[in-house]
Structures are given as structure tokens and as C-alpha cells.
Amino acid sequence: MWRFINNCKTSTCKRNGELGVDELNFAEHLVFRLVQEESFDGIGDSRLASLNPCVDNGLIRMRTKLVLRQDTFEFRCPVILTSEHTVVKRLIWDRHVTHCHAGVQLLMSILGEHYWILGGRRAIRSLISKCVRCRRLLAAGWILQLLLCRRTG
């Protein structure tokens, strides 16, 4: 959509083909800004008070204690999101599926590299409990254990 608008504005340098990294980063930035606008009452929101929030380029970020560490900026100052928003739920689901149905702890650390999700652990646990593939694997694990117990016992 943003490319279409830019292509309409400029007549000389029109972009086409696959989306570039800059376009994807811009779109992600825009989506997270909209999510934060819908979720929080600005930087003074009471839920953010204990997180030492700051605003960077329009996004509310958390200032961690790792500010002086030699690491990526997103890891040191992750974007604050709330787990109740649909986009964030979709984000968690996407990371769960793309990382081979990762468990709660792995998913927390994967998401924690970029985002600080309020109520994230509860949301991840709830989402995984609804995942059909994970439930099947869990059930298959129990069946395997029962079979092994019968053989050995």
C-alpha cells in the first residue's frame, strides 16, 4: 500500500518487484505505532510506569538495564506491546509456527529480542494450548509413554 502511494507521488523512480527491507521495516514500524496508539494512553499510561518507558521515533520502548551493552538497539530497548491486541496475538502465532511450534520459554526469548509484551507469558501459554498440532504432539507423547510403560512393565 505504501509503495503504491509512493509510486503515485513520484513519476520518475517507481519501485516494483518484491518488497525491500526498508519497506518492510517501515510497515512494521507503522503497524506497531498504530497498535500502541490503540492500546496505551501515551507514555504516561499507568501500565507502563514500572517499565521505564521512552519514545523513540514515535514508538514507545522500554529502557532495560542493558542500555550500555554492546547489542542491537531493539534488544536493549524493546518495543512495548500489549497481548490483548489482535495484531500482537497474530505476531505470537506467527513466531510460534515459524519456529517449529516453539514452547513458552523459547517463544518468550524469541519475542523478547524485539518486543516487550505485557501479559506475554499468559498469552503465549493460552495460544499454545489452542494449537492443534501441539496438542496432537502432546497426546502422541502420552500415548508413546503408555506404550513404553506397558512393554517394560
Minimum CB distance to Zn ion smaller for 69 or for 125: 125
10 Å CB burial of residue 66 (0-12, 13-18, 19+) is exposed
Can residue 131 be called a binding residue for Zn ion (CB under 5 A)?
Answer: yes
Q: 130-153 burial string, b = 16+ CB within 10 Å, else e?
A: eeeebeeeeeeeeeeeeeeeeeee
Minimum CB distance to Zn ion smaller for 34 or for 97: 97
Tally of CA atoms within 13 A in the half-sphere of 131 that contains its CB: 23
Can residue 101 be called a binding residue for Zn ion (CB under 5 A)?
Answer: yes
Q: Please report, as residue ranges, which positions from 35 to 74 form the binding site for Zn ion (by CB under 5 A).
A: none
Please report how close the Cβ of residue 122 comes to Zn ion at its closest, in angstroms: 17
Can residue 134 be called a binding residue for Zn ion (CB under 5 A)?
Answer: yes
Can residue 106 be called a binding residue for Zn ion (CB under 5 A)?
Answer: no
Please report how close the Cβ of residue 65 comes to Zn ion at its closest, in angstroms: 32
Distance CA 102, CA 105 (A): 8
State the Rg of the chain over Cα.
Answer: 20
H/E element, 54: strand 53-56
Minimum CB distance to Zn ion smaller for 68 or for 132: 132
Please report how close the Cβ of residue 137 comes to Zn ion at its closest, in angstroms: 8
Please report how close the Cβ of residue 118 comes to Zn ion at its closest, in angstroms: 22
Parallel, antiparallel, or unpaired: how do β-strands 115-118 and 59-62 relate? unpaired
- Whether 133 contacts 101, CB under 8 Å: yes
Minimum CB distance to Zn ion smaller for 51 or for 131: 131
How many residues of this chain bind Zn ion (CB under 5 A)?
4
Contacting residues toward Zn ion, per CB under 5 A: 101, 131, 133-134
